Amino acid sequence: MSNQLILPAGARIRVLVVDDSVVIRKLVTQALSEDSQIEVVGAAANGKIALQRISQINPDVITLDVEMPEMDGLETLRHLRVEFPKLRVIMFSTLTERGATTTLEALSLGASDYIAKAANVGSLDVSLRRLRDDLIPKIKQFFLAPPVPQSRPSAAPVRPGLAAPAKIARRRVIAIACSTGGPNALSAIIPDFPADLPAPIVLVQHMPALFTRLLAERLESRSKIKVREARGGEELAPAMAWVAPGDHHLVVTRHGTRVVTALNREPPENSCRPAADVLFRSVADIYGGEVVAVILTGMGQDGFHGIEILKSHGAHVIAQDEPSSVVWGMPGAVVKGGLADEVAPLEQVSRRILRQLG
């Protein structure tokens, strides 16, 4: 069963806005009210009030500020996960080290996603536009439109033009992509790898700058391998993972006999920078099919076209399954496109990767 909920025909997504700032509550309410599929059903000035109101108004999603009087966001989240475990929670985070650290803690406690508040949002119109652009897709990603009845079953997808690749003798690198739900998915996979992991890892997690460094530090503190935010110029080596830094594309390139990381700020792809497609193309250029490519939980389809290229070279593709994904956008696109060699629940992904490394 999918973690995404099917929205009944004609129904709207019910949102509760929780923030101690009257201005922010009004701003979020106004931004969300402009979308016909979303209904703001209430607001609360702190977590204590929010917990009291949930049973009365029955929201589908809560937007939750971190710093509030009486009961802050993290404490509220702990209560929510016990009392209302299926409720979707989107944290409001600040673009500071403290805000990023708190956001990662919130995600580990069960927050579904987050948006980052800008320090200076400018005019009211700019603020509203940014909220619409950032928050509305985050809310809608958890819901599916009602299924359209089909007169007969759909045929299995066919990938034209993908010739059968030569058999690959060994896999020399692991390439991973994820978005919504990714930090927790990575926390379930990376610590499972042994200290003598025989291949390097390169990965894209859609996150802003600063957040990606703290994510790498958090993963390394729990793992037997080294995990670093890439800075460019580092040589890929076994038992090391390189995380694409926020607002930069990560690629791999050859420098003499070495394969090294490189960063660039070329335009976003799939509205993302870093983008998985950019990383996967470069991995295909350097390693051909000697790759284990892994697509984890996430919104959208970033990574799909890169996987097409890797697959054409003979890479082995593992996609996270739908029930264990927070959002089955990225892995779902790969599976529906007929590109996945394996579709695995999260708890089996690390084992499947290690099997490919022999």
Q: Give the separation between CA 278 and CA 152, rounded to whole angstroms.
A: 38
What pLDDT shows up at residue 119?
A: 60
What pLDDT shows up at residue 158?
A: 45
Pick from 116, 118, 151: nearest CA to 135:
116
In order of 54, 141, 171, 329, 342, the CA distances from 300 in angstroms are 29, 9, 27, 5, 20
* Contacts with 257 (C-beta within 8 Å, 6 or more apart), sequence order: none
What pLDDT shows up at residue 33?
A: 92
Domains 5-144 and 173-357 share a fold: yes
In order of 11, 40, 116, 327, 355, the CA distances from 146 in angstroms are 10, 21, 30, 16, 38
Active-site residue, 206 included: yes
What pLDDT shows up at residue 118?
A: 64
- Enter the tokens of residue 237: 């080596």
Q: Do 135 and 115 form a contact (C-beta atoms < 8 A)?
A: yes
Question: Per DSSP, what are the bridge partners of residue 116?
Answer: 93
Q: Which of 302, 316, 321, 324 is catalytic?
A: 302
* Contacts with 348 (C-beta within 8 Å, 6 or more apart), sequence order: none
* Contacts with 126 (C-beta within 8 Å, 6 or more apart), sequence order: none
Q: Which of 19, 65, 206, 249 is catalytic?
A: 206
5-144: CATH, from 3.40.50.12240, 3.40.50.2300, 3.40.50.300, 3.40.50.1100: 3.40.50.2300
CA angle 30, 48, 76 (to 5 degrees): 85
Burial class (CB within 10 angstroms; exposed 0-12, middle 13-18, buried 19+) of 10: exposed
Residues of the chain with pLDDT under 70: 1-2, 118-122, 145-166
Place of tokens 């949002």: 121
Active-site residue, 192 included: no
Length of the chain: 358
Domain 173-357 part of CATH 3.40.50.180 = yes
* Contacts with 138 (C-beta within 8 Å, 6 or more apart), sequence order: 90, 113, 115, 180, 299
Q: Which of 179, 187, 312, 324 is catalytic?
A: 179
Active-site residue, 316 included: no
In the DSSP assignment, the letter for residue 345 is -
In b/e form, how buried is each residue of 153-168, taking b as 16+ CB within 10 angstroms? eeeeeeeeeeeeeeeb
Give the model confidence (pLDDT) of 37-84 as tens digits.
Answer: 999 999 999 999 999 999 999 999 999 999 899 999 999 999 999 999
What pLDDT shows up at residue 159?
A: 52
- Enter the tokens of residue 102: 């708190």
Peptide bond into 274 cis (omega under 30): yes
Q: Where are the domains of the chain?
A: 5-144, 173-357
Burial class (CB within 10 angstroms; exposed 0-12, middle 13-18, buried 19+) of 39: middle
Three-class SS of residue 118? coil
Strand ranges, E, within the chain: 5-6, 13-18, 38-44, 61-65, 88-94, 113-117, 143-144, 173-178, 201-205, 226-229, 240-243, 249-255, 258-264, 291-295, 316-320, 342-344
